[in-house]
Structure 1
């Protein structure tokens, strides 16, 4: 097995090609600032891309919260990530929490957020950076930055409107309204809502079903899905042709074809 990165405030496991990252600062409700979770998430994202044994990454939280986002005590004291004049504070954002969206956007495998409790502010944005989201029935979601007199400084305004459209994202962001898991499902923020004690089973079932697919083709397919959002059709089709040529020449392609032929022969 590949050597796992050394993390400080999170736990990481790898089993059956599924890596699970558990934010483990329940004392801070898994706040991303005022902890080492930013470094841990970025290190995990980089490791996933270099580890061929990983086909899916699941992100969840330990304790009652998924993530409370920013550390409000540090905000009140103008300390930690929130200290300094405007230029210094901006630089801390660039070198701090803004590393998360850049790192997760570059992850080559599917990312599933298993939202086990409140996902508030930057914690909500973190969930929205995943490709797929499942929520426990006690989860809550809120783009609550304006409630604190600040803006979504980690890219939340970019992610949310791409999930649910400009108008609804605007309403949630400008009101700072907190919604429950069922409304999040109705809006299309989460795929499904399950009882809290069944969340990780549901997330792992989904993750394993994806992890069973040919590994290299899975990474290429995710890359195509991301590129399709920003590429003209003619250019996109050229990229598809190149990726398909690569896929046809991978051993996993022939192995998958042979499995399909064997399954068809058994049905005759």
Structure 2
């Protein structure tokens, strides 16, 4: 992206309402039919998350989504041949950029840099779908695993390759992947550092579906449109429940369910949905 494109505020018209989009530097963002699509747009470096402004862009979009009631689904994909190549290996070799300094300096740079992504995406209130158009390597693989659903191009490759470079998954990948596919498989992929194709990723449960490259975004949008057609406030509450269910005991979780259900029953969208269903039943 050129300097003239950076930090330019844009707007979209949604249901006659003008909505400002966040200012992005190395990514693009669109909003249509309640679906926000974030495209990582540094294909010159295979959408590396370090040495670019992509960390700031991803965090800005995550925070914006939570403030924007016009969004029901967030899709994340990459421009070019890669979804994301993760860290910039040239910077690692030169001990520059995000990888410069002593232990304390590097640790602080991780906290203020790439580790902002998992915290921001874990807090996103709407469903996130990763459209994995190409290689998702290292932190790029971890970024994909931060989504709620993953649909991959048949050209996609996946690798938790940190150990191959003598480092560990510093962005939280060890936390996310074992929650997706279990400890044993996550352990093997992480310790071997091997790269797998989309078919094996589907067999492991890493991705939900594999599509041909030209059909990837349409398949992703089919899923996104189904979710976006659901009552939006109940959709956000449902995602919160799904996340909390991973961490709570049953009894306190049921208490949360009861409160959320009370909120839903008092929302106009609930009655609208009920009346729509009754009309369909009457017309059968």
TM-score, length-normalised on structure 2? Answer: 0.94
In the alignment, the residues of structure 2 paired with residue 23 and residue 202 of structure 1 have an alpha-carbon distance, to the nearest angstrom, of 19
After superposition, what is the alpha-carbon deviation per residue over 1:144-165, rounded to whole angstroms, capped at 9, x for unaligned? 0000000000000001111111
SS of the residue aligned with 2:20?
coil
In the alignment, the residues of structure 2 paired with residue 179 and residue 86 of structure 1 have an alpha-carbon distance, to the nearest angstrom, of 32
Which residue matches 2:59? 42
Alignment of 1:223 with 2:240, yes or no, is yes
Which residue matches 1:154? 171
After superposition, what is the alpha-carbon deviation per residue over 1:20-69, rounded to whole angstroms, capped at 9, x for unaligned? 00000000000000000000000000000000000000000000000000
Which of 127, 130, 151 is equivalent to 1:134?
151
Which residue matches 1:164? 181
After superposition, what is the alpha-carbon deviation per residue over 1:99-135, rounded to whole angstroms, capped at 9, x for unaligned? 0000000000000000000000000000000000000
Which residue matches 1:94? 111
Which residue matches 1:240? 257
SS of the residue aligned with 1:66?
strand
Which of 71, 76, 82 is equivalent to 2:93?
76
In the alignment, the residues of structure 1 paired with residue 19 and residue 62 of structure 2 have an alpha-carbon distance, to the nearest angstrom, of 14
Structure 1, gaps ≥5 residues long: none
SS of the residue aligned with 2:29?
strand
SS of the residue aligned with 2:187?
helix
TM-score, length-normalised on structure 1? Answer: 0.99
The structure showing larger relative contact order (alpha-carbon pairs under 8 Å, at least 6 residues apart) is: 1
After superposition, what is the alpha-carbon deviation per residue over 1:153-196, rounded to whole angstroms, capped at 9, x for unaligned? 00000011111111111000001000000000000000000000
Q: Runs of 4 or more off by more than 3 Å in structure 1?
A: none
Alignment of 1:189 with 2:206, yes or no, is yes
In the alignment, the residues of structure 1 paired with residue 19 and residue 142 of structure 2 have an alpha-carbon distance, to the nearest angstrom, of 29
Which residue matches 2:130? 113
In the alignment, the residues of structure 2 paired with residue 2 and residue 239 of structure 1 have an alpha-carbon distance, to the nearest angstrom, of 32
Q: How far did residue 252 of structure 1 move?
A: 0.2
In the alignment, the residues of structure 2 paired with residue 70 and residue 197 of structure 1 have an alpha-carbon distance, to the nearest angstrom, of 27
Q: How far did residue 223 of structure 1 move?
A: 0.0
Which residue matches 1:256? 273
Which of 23, 42, 49 is equivalent to 1:6?
23
SS of the residue aligned with 1:63?
coil
In the alignment, the residues of structure 2 paired with residue 232 and residue 172 of structure 1 have an alpha-carbon distance, to the nearest angstrom, of 30
SS of the residue aligned with 2:90?
helix
In the alignment, the residues of structure 2 paired with residue 75 and residue 172 of structure 1 have an alpha-carbon distance, to the nearest angstrom, of 22
> Aligned pairs, how many?
267
After superposition, what is the alpha-carbon deviation per residue over 1:213-248, rounded to whole angstroms, capped at 9, x for unaligned? 000000000000000000010000000000000000
Q: How far did residue 2 of structure 1 move?
A: 1.5
